[in-house]
């Protein structure tokens, strides 16, 4: 692979401002590799969601338990529906919530589509999806043939990374490429809301609060998992 910027082991660290950075990241992902990038919450690391072998490599790089599903980052519902990542029709609240909080730090758990590999969902019936609010990863998603199976760019159980250097410290030599977009502005992982249960349930508290969500659920009671 052609590389630019600094390297640690087999991991290239390239400033997102480098003219070659986007093309290199896309090349790595299309080749089945793993790329880390900044988001509005923390740095993430991902593989093409339709590439089961690459996603398996993501689990290995992070030492992530196989029973723990990996969320999917996308440019919007059309990409998720067109690629068969999510099932149609969507839960009624999905459009209202995404219309208010996407792009942003809210992950929605919805029924999985037929085309998402089992390794992404840990063989479950649901998939967690989000549109991140950061220009670097949004630009990357716009140039990919599929959404990204992506999670925080750390080893399992370790602190979530806020800078590219944090990523290199934990995953250097384990992934192929890091897009350095500076420090993440949020610093807190996204809120995770399960829309496949009644009432919808917050599985992980984050920047989007229960008070933010509740008006869009038309009076439904919420719970914290």
Task: Kindly indicate the confidence band of residue 7, based on its pLDDT and cuts at 50, 70 and 90.
Answer: very low
Q: What is the pTM of this model?
A: 0.92
Residue 91: per-residue pLDDT? 86
Task: Kindly indicate the confidence band of residue 225, based on its pLDDT and cuts at 50, 70 and 90.
Answer: very low
Q: Give the residue ranges of DSSP H helices in the chain.
A: 21-30, 52-62, 77-82, 92-101, 118-121, 135-142, 164-171, 210-213
pLDDT for residue 8 is more than 60: no
Residue 9: per-residue pLDDT? 60
All structural domains of the chain with their residue ranges: 6-224
Tens digits of per-residue pLDDT, 53-89? 999 999 999 999 999 999 999 999 999 999 999 999 9
CATH number of 6-224: 3.90.870.10
């Amino acid at each position: 692979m052609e590389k630019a910027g600094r390297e640690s082991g087999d991991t290239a660290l390239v400033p997102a401002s480098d003219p070659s950075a986007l093309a290199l990241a896309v090349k790595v992902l299309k080749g089945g590799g793993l790329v880390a990038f900044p988001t509005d919450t923390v740095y993430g690391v991902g593989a093409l969601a339709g590439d089961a072998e690459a996603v398996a490599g993501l689990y290995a790089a992070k030492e992530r338990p196989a029973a723990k599903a990996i969320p999917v980052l996308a440019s919007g519902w059309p990409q998720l529906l067109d690629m068969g990542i999510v099932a149609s029709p969507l839960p009624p609240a999905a459009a209202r919530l995404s219309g208010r909080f996407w792009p942003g730090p809210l992950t929605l758990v919805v029924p999985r589509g037929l085309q998402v590999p089992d390794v992404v969902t840990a063989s479950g019936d649901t998939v967690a999806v989000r549109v991140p609010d950061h220009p670097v990863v949004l630009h990357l998603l716009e140039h990919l043939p599929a959404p990204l199976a992506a999670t925080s760019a750390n080893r399992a159980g370790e602190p979530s990374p806020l800078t590219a250097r944090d990523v290199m410290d934990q995953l250097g030599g384990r992934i192929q490429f890091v897009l350095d977009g500076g420090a993440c502005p949020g610093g807190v992982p996204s809120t995770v809301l399960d829309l496949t249960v009644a009432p919808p349930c917050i599985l992980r508290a984050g920047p989007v609060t229960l008070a933010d969500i509740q008006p869009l659920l038309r009076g439904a009671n919420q719970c914290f998992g």
